[in-house]
Structure 1
């Protein structure tokens, strides 16, 4: 049996190749609540030396809203397993089992336990395949931030003022009014 091909991408659904629609590819989509996503991207952009200077609270590279909505709206018509970062943080074993089932596999308790251990934030911070430590310092300035910084839910509370949060909430409610995705901002 030919091993599966795995492709990691940040492309919005409309930019996936036509073969995605024709061949029944399976997609695992992980979404993170927009406040923590914004904070994470802000720190990533600060340390990423090949991007232009982000300024305060960047929203570069397209709309987060369009991205999460695109996959959400297609999840029941395509082979898309839509996961939430917050659910993975809350109960990694449950979400790993969901992934295994989606891919048509059953995991023994031992294998599940090993996957959970190897995918903890601390383990991934130490893993060069996950932490991108092999990327040269001319691309990532690790004195500013690490690629895997905190991996927490609710860190946005440490970065958004009450006024910023209120403005964000207003914009979020207006922009997401046509698509109710059950994001959690704290766990």
Structure 2
């Protein structure tokens, strides 16, 4: 049975769908542990990439079976998901046997369960430039039947600029988490573009933040495994085992590049987008690159 595409609605000031709010009480009461690591992103900003890196850093040595037989969404559960035919994200997270538990979220910072802050958990946030992010989100919504209908590109782009996306405004999301970083020292803020530019360098920074020290050989192996083309063909990383996604429309992992927005934006769309961007991105200390 195909899932029915959900409708967006306003949820405490953020656009959401029922698949992320139906289990709200359990999400808010989720009990984090001090060694939990939360991977937070706006949708389509490199979540699976970083999830895979962390899983390999911590558990790559355990057994090859883990990475070859368990889909990434079971190794790193999606905290707020609540889908009728599946276990909820909170149930999956509670059942994790690993230590640390790796948990992912797309929640804006103000929605994160308070136990993560109370337990002083480490959080890895990944942000991606808005132009590539909206393009990736568009193709994702086309193929993911659990997302609202994206309609055509130009109306999708307009809704993105207005923040009428699942998990709300990109601007609010990246800025909210950036502000949190200024006061919460256990938050590592990564940029997708930096990871594309030099994956090994960014893994080094991540290791330093997490206090892990893989050997040079392990690090080289991880860097190889998490290259986009490798992950795209790996059924345990590429979501091809997920029933809600129609790969005939578009793959879950499409291009993984910086600058693909140029193939989608018209000159006029780019001008309007730039104008909105300048208004919304007032904090000059958070800078993104739209090309490398």
TM-score range, shorter chain: over 0.9
Deviation at 1:127, TM superposition (A): 1.5
Alignment correspondent of 2:269: 164
5 Å matches for 1:19-58?
Answer: 19-55=115-151, 56-57=155-156, 58=159
Contact 1:69 1:179 in 2 (8 A): no
For the residues of structure 2 that align with 1:120 and 1:178, how far apart are their CA atoms? 32
For the residues of structure 2 that align with 1:177 and 1:13, how far apart are their CA atoms? 18
Deviation at 1:94, TM superposition (A): 0.5
Alignment correspondent of 1:113: 220
Deviation at 1:181, TM superposition (A): 1.1
Determine if the alignment matches structure 1 residue 69 to structure 2 residue 175: yes
Alignment correspondent of 1:181: 286
Equivalent of residue 253 in structure 2, options 148, 170, 173: 148
Deviation at 1:179, TM superposition (A): 5.2
Contact 1:97 1:107 in 2 (8 A): no
Alignment correspondent of 1:90: 197
Deviation at 1:178, TM superposition (A): 3.9
Determine if the alignment matches structure 1 residue 3 to structure 2 residue 95: no
Gaps of 5+ in 2: 1-34, 36-97
Find the residue that maps to 1:40 and give its secondary structure. Answer: helix
Number of residue pairs matched by the alignment: 185
Higher RCO (C-alpha 8 Å, min separation 6): 1
Deviation at 1:149, TM superposition (A): 0.3
Gaps of 5+ in 1: none
Find the residue that maps to 2:150 and give its secondary structure. Answer: coil
Q: TM-score, normalised by structure 2?
A: 0.61
**CA-atom RMSD in angstroms:** 1.5
Deviation at 1:76, TM superposition (A): 2.8
